Structure 1
Amino acid sequence: MSTVFRELLGVEKPIIAMCHFPPMPGSPLYDARAGLEGIKEWVARDIRHLQDGGVDAIMFCNEGDRPYTLKASPATLATMASVIGQLRSEIRVPFGVDVLWDPVAAIALASATGARFVREVFTGVYSSDMGLWNTNAGESLRFRRNIGADHVKLIFNINAEFAGFLGQRPLPLIAQSVVFSSLADVVAVSGTMTGQAPQLPDLELVKRAVPDTPVVANTGVRAENVREILQVADGVIVGTALKQDGNTWKPVDPDRVKRFVGAARG
């Protein structure tokens, strides 16, 4: 069994909680009245609630930047780097980053902020809400090497949200392929979109296909299903279930965090 999570996060089956940034400058839903200070206050509050609730790690993501693009804007990267940097002293747990849907930008942000991992869609060609989506894992990993960021681990989301494969390969074969040829550190299995759980049989098949690589449930994990999912998965990434009223776009609910962590750890 891989020791990636033990070495990276200090636990074997981590709860990785999403800290969703609200819309940032240039995004259609950006709140210019609240401004950058409003973004910082939002993120700081969510960090506090997640850490106090007992999660093992936090992942920062520009979830509010709808509609999503396949190349991150300079404003998004600059805002995320600035806010994470200003709040760095308040972050007590390991953290990672995700920039939708730009792997190179996410690796750059991780290197600049001290993040330990990145989650992204690194491989495959998709018909998506963002148009035709083509990826380039070779470019991303070479960029990581060129900037001296080999210590940043890569979580490969192998079935992208808001998108469908153009190929016909089954998930277990894709998992084997990305571990063998694209050097995935961790494999993530998603539902069809944010907040939708992956099918448990899919998790089981993927885990069986790559037994020596950590496999995480990437979406739709809730207090009601986390124990069952962790019987198969090596960890979970959770966002929506920790929000007020289970609404992706609302702030983190501290009571929901505590319930989730309690359910996960029994």
Structure 2
Amino acid sequence: MKTWLKELFGVSKPIIGMCHLRALPGDPGYDAHKGMEWVYECALADVRALQEGGVDAVLFSNEFSLPYLTQVDTITVACMAAIIAQIKPHLHLPFGVNVLWDARASLDLAMATGAQFVREVFTGVYGSDFGLWNTNPGAVIRHQHHIGAQNVRLFFNIVPESAAYLGERQIADIARSTVFNTQPDALCVSGLTAGAQVSAQTLKIVKDAVPETPVFANTGVRLENVVEQLSVADGAVIGSAFKVDGYTWNPVDVERVRAIMSRVRELRSAL
């Protein structure tokens, strides 16, 4: 079941670098004076830095669209699609999308842009900073098939940031039932917020529970812990650690990307 990882990313233990889009029209933080052209220029600079630094894939998300919606406005998807379309001629890696936090919208964006994968919260009910957060995986997966997105790989975030599962369930049980009921392509395990480390122990619990399903460390992977994290996880999504000073809201620093990816290549050569 893991062979698709190598086929899609071309390497073992792939590293997906985050391209955090600046606030978009309709978002509280949108800078109307700088406009969409500035949002595009920032995103393109980050993508170039990620590629030059050696990541294996790029994941676009509307990270600056705080506070997040669980059902986004149409303008968000339209703007993300426009920006990604402009960037694609400069992008030479596999890429995915994540419309925070709307799984149907993420799939729509994937189809509009040609993204190969989507990361989202597809399952569970949570008490969160965004209110009571419910999902409907049956409807979302049917929507995936309805729009012809069967070939888009689905990364299920089973530990949403800024949220807690309402049921009294252990992470191993959540992983097992998620895989049984929804057949995700991969599971993502997150910390409390962007940049918050997931313990290697938690990753191992999930990995042992669903050994045939790829498991990604979704937050908090950095130079100091990347070897430990990838000794358990099948890959990682990295955002904050690639940024200037390791700060989530800063631009991508190509030298930080190079340093982490150099460590990752050393790990791969020892496999």
In 1: Cα distance, 2:262 partner to 2:11 partner: 16
Q: Unaligned stretches of 5+ in structure 1? A: none
The letter for the 1-side match of 2:110 is A
Q: Which residue pairs with 2:43 in the alignment?
A: 43
Distance in 1, Cα, partners of 2:30 & 2:262: 35
Q: What's the CA shift for 1:19?
A: 0.3
1:82-231 mapped onto 2 (5 Å cutoff): 82-231=82-231
Q: How many residues align?
A: 266
CA distance, structure 2, for counterparts of residue 244 and residue 56 of structure 1: 20
Give the structure 1 partner of residue 2 of structure 2. 2
SS of match in other structure, 2:241 = helix
The 8 Å contact of residues 4 and 214 in structure 1, kept in 2 or not, is answered as: no
Instruction: Tell me by how many angstroms 1:51 deviates.
Output: 0.2
Give 2:265's aligned residue.
Answer: 265
Map Cα deviations across residues 154-210 of structure 1 (whole Å, 9 max, x no partner).
000001101011011111111111111111110011111111011111100100011
Q: Do the aligned residues in 2 keep the contact of 1:5 with 1:12 (CA within 8 Å)?
A: yes
Q: Which amino acid is 1:176 matched to?
A: R
Offset of residue 9 of structure 1: 1.5
Using the aligned pairs only, state the percent identity. 52
* Counterpart residue number, 1:24: 24
For residues 246 and 34 of structure 2, the distance between their equivalents in structure 1, rounded to whole angstroms, comes to 24
Q: Is the 8 A contact 1:3 1:12 kept in 2?
A: no
TM-score normalised according to structure 2 size: 0.97
Q: Given residue 55 of structure 2, which amino acid in structure 1 is its aligned partner?
A: V
Question: Counterpart in 2 of 1:71?
Answer: 71
- What does residue range 226-265 of structure 1 map to in structure 2 within 5 Å? 226-265=226-265
Q: Is the CA contact (8 Å cut-off) linking 1:20 and 1:60 kept in structure 2? A: yes
Cα distance in 2 for residues equivalent to 1:165 and 1:22: 29
Task: State the secondary structure of the residue aligned to 1:156.
Answer: strand
Deviations 1:215-264 (A, max 9, x none): 00000000110011110000000000000111111100111111111122
Q: Is the 1:70–1:133 Cα contact (8 Å) retained in structure 2?
A: yes
User: Matches of 1:4 and 1:209 in 2, distance apart?
Assistant: 20
Q: Which amino acid aligns with 1:148?
A: G
Q: What is the Cα deviation at residue 4 of structure 1?
A: 2.3
Q: Distance in 1 between matches of 2:215 and 2:54?
A: 21
Q: Which amino acid aligns with 1:106?
A: S
* 8 A Cα contact 1:26 1:75, kept in partner: yes
SS in 2 for 1:132: strand
Distance 1:127 1:104 in 2: 20
| Deviation at residue 144 of structure 1 after TM alignment | 0.5
Once residues 185 and 74 of structure 1 are traced to their aligned partners in structure 2, the CA distance between those partners, rounded to angstroms, is 27
Tell me the distance in 1 between the aligned counterparts of 2:66 and 2:180.
33
Q: RMSD across aligned C-alpha pairs, in angstroms?
A: 0.8
Partner amino acid, structure 2, of 1:124: G
> Partners of 2:202 and 2:136 in 1: how far apart?
24
The runs of 4+ residues in structure 1 deviating greater than 6 Å are: none
Corresponding letter in the other structure for 1:26: G
Letter in 2 for 1:132: L
CA deviations 1:63-84 (Å, max 9, x no partner) are 0000111111111111100010
Contiguous gaps of at least 5 residues in structure 2: 267-271
Cα deviation, residue 12, structure 1: 2.2
Q: State the alpha-carbon separation in 1 of the partners of residues 240 and 203 from structure 2.
A: 20
Amino acid at match of 2:130: M
Deviation at 1:2, TM superposition (A): 1.7
Q: In terms of mean alpha carbon deviation, does 173-182 or 216-225 score higher?
A: 173-182
